[in-house]
């Protein structure tokens, strides 16, 4: 995608790339998932990078109003290009991805459209999706309220059916029932899927979805009874401040009865609440889709941060081995490697588990359509856990990469502060990460009880069926080299996850009640859930190594990264592995020794490994992570773009600085 431009720094990175001991193009294919996916991504990334409308290098310097207007311009231009070029859905999704600016279109495509597809009847889909796909309406997803987020059943907004007019009355009875946070709600969306408590014949039937028009399609003004606006600036410069996250209060707003999403249940003309013959489990398909998208986004975000940190660490030199000697590349310090290389391995691990989740979504969807719900609980727990673990790890990874880049990493021009601000909210939206892990823990406790009664677990919990062996086995590791065995690594992770879960189950059984036990042991349950999810990621990485991967030396490099990912987790959570008896102190020491060896083996290839992410400089958006390595010129050039440098003498000099310097201020006696 990019080419080195000559010069000392360019020559230096070129030298790093020349040491690559594998086929970089083959690694690009492995990262992308297929050669087709790689080619499509290349086309869309280059299309965005070459279009001046999608420029983003001054984004963090724009005021909120300027940033929002810029977002509107880019979204409109993206749609124009989509239509002009007859882009496929895959291409259009990638186009929006590489524009790399949160905006109202995100919720339109990722939440509004899927919600109607999953919960709307055929008639509703035909009516609303036809307009949505043509952007004749702009939709959002209004679920979260000022007073409730993860506890969906606690939502307060009401939808009361009035049989005299055949309408629902949508109402916000309290301040805390105000819809709060939906992206695009603040200023752009014309419609929303609004979640509210369905009340008919005096009975509350719980939370249901309703399609509501919010603004006039003629002049965009809010409809009668709707108070709507933006919730204000968010953390970071640029970042999610390009999104008009909104607040909305409803004052007895009436909508037709047929705007209730009625695929799963409906209210008759007479006001009777009836269930359809469509199983409610079909809702899980949308949930799996959204969460697999979030996991893929996390892999992409962590890999961007790592790419920046690796390239800059290869350029930056600090201190010498002796007085007057040449300075050493920061990347050659063992402390830098021990902090950075596990993040590189994690980015690959998250990418591969994300590819598997994409397959899982297809599999779950097919089974749901065939009314096979046997794997739903496991799929729900799997997606919830992976969303939680990958987003938390990604937020931590971006922050660590910022530190790894020293003082320059704190500059907006490094790309890291904005990247952090954009991805941090993923830890709370679409399910708070702690709440999701507790859901995983409940599933694990239920699975263990079923195993005890003879039921065979499936999918990512199949290892629990081997409970007798895993509860008693000892690690086979005797030498440093033994830690390179995928089978040995997998068994240790299985034993740790199972023993932690069984220990929690046993302790809960001793409590006065199951709920009291669950509440008291919730910190332990969180750790057990994390152990289970980390096992899933390690397993999927190992399974990736069993595929037919094209390219010379690619599989060997992936094996090293898999080893780093797994052994670093053992190092990080050694207390768990020791306390559960999965490894001995000696085996833990051997794992650390092998980890150091893997760092040394990966070091010659690390720049090529981040090049395999195949990111354009435009998408990376970092002066520190440039492909050509021309870091210092880029930092210097970016500094002069700041609005403060538009004038040599600063605004405010005459009013404030000059009187101070000329001693014209009346100073109080001290």
What tokens appear for 145 in the block?
A: 């309220």
Give the Å distances, CA to CA, from 468 to 450, 451, 465: 15, 11, 8
320 in a known ligand binding site? no
Q: Which stretches within 273-322 are classed as H helix?
A: 283-315
> CA-CA distance, 215 to 226, in Å (whole number)?
9
β partners of residue 247: 180, 229
β-pair partners for 213: 191
Burial (0-12, 13-18, 19+ Cβ within 10 Å), 371: exposed
Nearest 5 degrees, angle CA 396-CA 399-CA 404? 120
Handedness of CA 333, 334, 339, 344 (dihedral sign): positive
Neighbouring C-beta atoms of residue 547, cutoff 10 Å: 11
Strand-pair partners of 447: none
CA–CA gap between residue 156 and residue 178 (Å, rounded)? 9
Diameter of the chain by CA atoms? 90
DSSP secondary structure string, 452-474?
HTTPPP-GGGGGGGGHHHHTT--
Flag whether 183 is marked binding. yes
317-320 and 273-275 beta bridge pairing: unpaired
**Residue 495: closest CA among 483, 505, 503:** 503
Does the annotation count 369 as an active-site position?
A: no
Beta strands per DSSP E along 163-231? 167-171, 179-180, 191-200, 203-213, 226-230
E strand intervals along 38-190: 139-142, 158-162, 167-171, 179-180
Point out the catalytic residue in the list 16, 430, 491, 638. Answer: 430
CB atoms < 10 A from the CB of 387, how many? 28
Distance CA 38, CA 268 (A): 50
Binding-site residues for FAD:
144, 183
- Residues annotated as catalytic (active site), given as ranges: 430
Binding-site residues:
144, 183
């Amino acid at each position: 995608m990019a080419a080195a431009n000559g010069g000392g720094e360019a020559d230096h990175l070129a030298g790093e790339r020349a040491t690559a001991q594998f086929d970089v193009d083959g690694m690009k294919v492995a990262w992308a998932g297929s050669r087709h996916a790689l080619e499509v991504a290349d086309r869309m990334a280059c299309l965005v990078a070459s279009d001046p409308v999608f420029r983003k290098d001054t984004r963090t310097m724009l005021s909120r109003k300027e940033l929002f207007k810029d977002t509107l311009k880019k979204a409109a231009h993206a749609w124009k290009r989509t239509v002009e070029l007859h882009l496929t859905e895959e291409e259009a999704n990638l186009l929006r991805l590489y524009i790399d600016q949160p905006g109202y279109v995100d919720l339109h495509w990722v939440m509004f459209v899927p919600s109607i597809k999953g919960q709307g009847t055929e008639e509703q889909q035909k009516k609303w999706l036809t307009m949505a796909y043509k952007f004749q309406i702009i939709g959002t997803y209004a679920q979260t309220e000022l007073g409730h987020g993860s506890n969906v059943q606690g939502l307060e907004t009401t939808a009361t059916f009035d049989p005299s007019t055949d309408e629902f009355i949508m109402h916000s009875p309290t301040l805390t029932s105000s819809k709060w946070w939906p992206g695009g709600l603040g200023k752009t969306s014309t419609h929303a899927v609004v979640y509210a408590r369905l009340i008919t014949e005096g009975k509350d039937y719980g939370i249901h979805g309703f399609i509501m028009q919010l603004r006039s399609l003629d002049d965009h003004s809010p409809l009668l009874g709707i108070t709507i606006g933006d919730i204000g600036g968010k953390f970071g410069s640029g970042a999610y401040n390009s999104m008009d996250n909104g607040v909305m209060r409803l004052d007895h707003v009436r909508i037709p009865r047929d705007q209730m999403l009625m695929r799963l249940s409906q209210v008759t003309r007479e006001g009777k609440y009836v269930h359809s013959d469509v199983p409610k489990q079909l809702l899980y398909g949308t949930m799996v889709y959204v969460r697999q998208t979030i996991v893929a986004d996390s892999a992409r975000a962590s890999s961007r941060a790592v790419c920046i940190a690796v390239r800059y660490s290869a350029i930056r030199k600090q201190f010498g081995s002796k007085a007057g000697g040449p300075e050493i590349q920061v990347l050659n310090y063992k402390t830098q490697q021990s902090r950075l290389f596990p993040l590189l391995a994690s980015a690959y691990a998250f990418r591969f588990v994300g590819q598997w989740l994409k397959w899982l979504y297809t599999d779950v969807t097919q089974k749901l359509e065939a009314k096979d719900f046997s794997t739903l609980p496991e799929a729900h727990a799997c997606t919830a856990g992976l969303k939680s673990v990958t987003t938390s790890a990604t937020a931590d990874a971006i922050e660590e990469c910022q530190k790894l880049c020293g003082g320059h990493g704190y500059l907006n021009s490094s790309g890291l502060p904005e990247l952090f601000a954009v991805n941090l909210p993923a830890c709370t939206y679409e399910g708070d990460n702690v709440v999701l892990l507790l859901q995983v823990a409940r599933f694990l406790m239920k699975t263990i009880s079923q195993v005890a009664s003879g039921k065979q677990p499936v999918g990512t919990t199949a290892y629990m069926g081997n409970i007798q062996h895993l509860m008693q086995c000892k690690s086979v590791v005797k030498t440093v080299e033994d830690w390179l065995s995928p089978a040995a690594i997998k068994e240790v992770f299985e034993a740790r996850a199972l023993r932690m879960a069984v220990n929690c189950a046993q302790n809960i059984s001793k409590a006065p009640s199951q709920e009291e036990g669950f509440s008291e042991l919730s910190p332990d349950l969180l750790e057990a859930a994390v152990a289970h999810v980390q096992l899933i990621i390690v397993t999927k990485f190992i399974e990736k190594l069993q595929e037919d991967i094209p390219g010379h030396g690619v599989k060997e490099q992936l094996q090293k990264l898999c080893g780093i990912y797994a052994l670093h987790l053992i190092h990080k959570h050694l207390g768990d592995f020791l306390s559960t008896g999965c490894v001995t102190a000696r085996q833990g020491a051997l794992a650390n020794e092998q980890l150091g060896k893997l760092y040394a083996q990966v070091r010659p290839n690390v720049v090529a490994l981040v090049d395999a992410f195949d990111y354009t400089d435009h998408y990376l958006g970092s002066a520190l992570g440039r492909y050509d390595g021309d870091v210092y010129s880029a930092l210097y050039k970016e500094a002069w773009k700041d609005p403060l440098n538009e004038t040599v003498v600063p605004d405010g000099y005459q009013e404030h600085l000059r009187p101070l310097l000329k001693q014209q201020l009346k100073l109080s006696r001290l």
